[in-house]
A and B are shown apart, each in its own frame.
Chain A
Amino acid sequence: MGRRIDLLRVVLLPVTAVLMVVALYLIFVNAPEERVMGAVQKIFYFHVPLAAVTFLSVFVLLAGAMGYLWTRRAAWDHLSIASAEVGLLFCTLVLITGPIWAKPAWGVWWTWEAKLTTTLILWLLLAGILLSRAYASAPEQGARVASVLGVVAALDVPIVYKAVDWWRGQHPIVFGAGKTNPLAPGMLAALLVSMLVFVLLYALLVAARMRLAAQEDRLAALEDAVWRSQ
């Protein structure tokens, strides 16, 4: 497993780095400036992929947590740690880029609308999971507790979205059923490449965090062995 991830990294890292430069070119040079919002709209190419990857990490968290509860194999828990931590990072970036755009576009930094509220609740859920794991007295206890919380949090997120949506509405819906694509060709290309870059970056970070978790486990096992032999 370790070697496969290494090979993946050797290929993924340069590809991501090159695509990142391409994405920056497409966003800032190639894509036309939005007529009403102007340069402010450029943050859209970062905000939307970040948000998409944040919610992707919720599915990965669900898979990791359920996999661990089912099999009790450490690799699943490493996936769950990685997706929770990287997910929290991306979620934080979504919550930072959103208000930067919202202030000039809507006139307020924050509004209690479905997507914003759900993202904030998700941030709290992820932070709670990491906090609980840190409180655990043994790594296995942390893994079990984090898995239980991870399953509930991941199942909860779509329901939170629906509930807040019924309660309030107001986020710009760019893509939706029955809507023709409103983006200029240059804009769409920039968004798609940017999306790809963030997904690749997410995969790289998750792979690196999983490797670190596996090494932490090995180190703990070695320390344990040394302690026993003395």
Chain B
Amino acid sequence: MSPRSGVPPGFFVTAGIVARKDLRIEGRTKETLSATVLFALVELVVFGFAFDLDTIRRMGPEKIVPGLLWVTLAFAAIVGFTRSFRVERAREALIAVALAPVDRGAVFVGKWLANLALLVVLEAVLLPLTALFFDVNIVATAGPLVVVVLLHTVGLAALGTLFSGVVSRLGRGEALLATLLLPAATPLFLSAVHCTSSALEGAALAADRKWLLLTVGLDILYVLVAILIFDAILED
């Protein structure tokens, strides 16, 4: 994968290099994953106190649990996104990234893929734990559930990566990222909660065709827009 010296790597090679760099750092330090997984766990415990299991059972877990799941996921993801650019800020390495003669859109794609991979790992831990804590059977509906969660994660990671770039440039942290990201991701969250709910109720994916199409459209829109405008964030 190492590019020939003197020739700047192409778009996808650059994206691969950036993603592998981020994931390698994470593999060595495990800082982001330990922070997000632990934070998510704390959130689940807090929700366990806020809505006790009897209330959830009475109101129907399929109606309540998707909301709990996505709120937990959103805030844990925000903790992760904020760290995405912190590595580069710490030793001003972002200047080196910005100076590299590569497409800035490819740098975005690399960071997005790395964040996406970390989110998927977080979800792999979070989904079974949520099911366990709030007494939901996710084994029977695993197929549609996984598709729904993954589709919404793609767009969330794209918007989160773009906005965490903005927040890191401003030298701010989780509070500003949450303030910017949560309202902007409203359509994704509405769709995520709706589709997760119907997946838990055992509905086929085809029943939510319009929501899933909206989500795929949002995923594509957010990624494309971010590739086009990420340039303005790296510049200084």
* Residues on A facing B (Cβ under 8 Å): 69, 121, 124-125, 128, 131-132, 135-137, 141, 144-145, 147-149, 151-153, 155-156, 159-160, 162-164, 166-167
Contact = CB atoms under 8 A, between A and B. Distances in A.
11 contacts: A135-B170, A135-B176, A141-B169, A144-B235, A145-B166, A149-B180, A152-B225, A156-B186, A163-B187, A163-B190, A167-B194
Given A131-B176, A132-B166, 15 more contacts: A121-B183, A124-B179, A132-B170, A132-B180, A137-B171, A144-B233, A145-B166, A147-B229, A151-B229, A155-B221, A155-B225, A159-B187, A160-B186, A160-B187, A163-B187
A136 B166 CA distance: 10
Given A121-B186, A155-B221, A69 B166 contact: no
B184 A125 contact: yes
Nearest to A120: B183
B172 interface: yes
Interface of B: 159, 162-163, 166, 169-172, 176, 179-180, 183-184, 186-187, 190-191, 194, 210-211, 214, 218, 221-222, 225, 229, 232-233, 235-236
Nearest to A133: B170
A141 B166 CA distance: 10
A149 B176 CA distance: 12
A137 B170 CA distance: 7
Contacts of B191: 163
Interface of B is mostly: helix
Contacts, number: 79
A166 B193 CA distance: 13
Nearest to A128: B180
Contact of B229 (A69, A124, A160): A69
Given A121-B183, A131-B176, A167 B190 contact: yes
**Residue from B179, B190, B232, B236 whose CB has the most chain A CB atoms within 10 Å:** B232
Contact of A128 (B162, B183, B214, B225): B183
Given A135-B172, A141-B236, A162-B214, A148 B186 contact: no
Nearest to B229: A148
A128 B201 CA distance: 36
Nearest to B193: A167
Nearest to B188: A163
B187 A145 contact: no
Contacts of B236: 141
A162 B210 CA distance: 11
Contacts of B166: 132, 145, 148-149
Given A141-B236, A155-B221, A163-B214, A125 B162 contact: no
B162 A136 contact: no
Nearest to B231: A69
Contacts of A136: 170
A144 B232 contact: yes
Given A141-B169, A166-B210, A159 B218 contact: yes
A164 B190 CA distance: 7
Nearest to B180: A128
B16 to A, nearest CB: 24
Contacts of A163: 186-187, 190-191, 214
